[in-house]
Amino acid sequence: MTDADRVAELLRARGAEAIDHPGGTLCAHLERVQHKLADLGASRRLQLAGRAHAVYGTDGFDVALLTLDERPLLADIAGEDVERLVYRYGACDRSRTWHGLAETRQVWDRFTGACEALDAEDLRDFADLSIVNELDIAEHAPEFLAQHSDFIRRLTAEWAPLLSPSVADEVRRVLG
């Protein structure tokens, strides 16, 4: 069994298939994000993080499949590097982080209040994961895009220097 299979098994065991999410279930959304990242040529680390990105809940989706005390469980299954990216994504205080991220390179933790400066690779992975997540919701929940399209367009324009070329192309495909 691959690490991706083990992550998928953990998500199902924690009820992701029964949790509503814009465009279907949380399980389906997480799988789509993983596959989209794979299609866009993302690293294996980023693909696995895409599959698990909401296990601790997020600033925009407050349903957790794992408690913060269970971080070692995900690290054992997916690797510590993947778990750190998943934690960073879930812990991100979007109101303090998203605007200005391209300049500050800092992610604020909504659980601890701490601030982390990211290196170039972590910054790109964080930005790519965040945008691919938003694009998946936009594609599968038209009401979301209708309500938030201006914000997503501003965010993706601001983050353009951070995004991998394939994710930037995906932004143009989805948003026009």
Q: Is 59 helix (H, G, I), strand (E, B) or coil?
A: coil
Q: Measured between alpha carbons, how far is 134 from 146 in angstroms, rounded to an integer? A: 13
- The pLDDT of residue 146 is 84
Structural domain span for residue 28 = 3-175
Predicted confidence at residue 78, as pLDDT, reads 97
Query: The domain spanning residue 73 has which CATH number?
Result: 1.10.3210
Task: Give pLDDT, residue 79.
Answer: 97
The per-type count for the chain, helices as H runs and strands as E runs, is 10, 4
Instruction: State residue 83's pLDDT score.
Output: 98
Q: Number of folded domains in the chain? A: 1
Consecutive 10-residue averages of pLDDT for the chain (176 residues): 94 96 94 98 98 96 95 97 98 97 98 97 98 95 86 94 97 91
Residue 156 and residue 68: Cα distance in Å, rounded?
Answer: 29
Percent helix / strand / coil, the chain, rounded to 5: 65, 10, 25
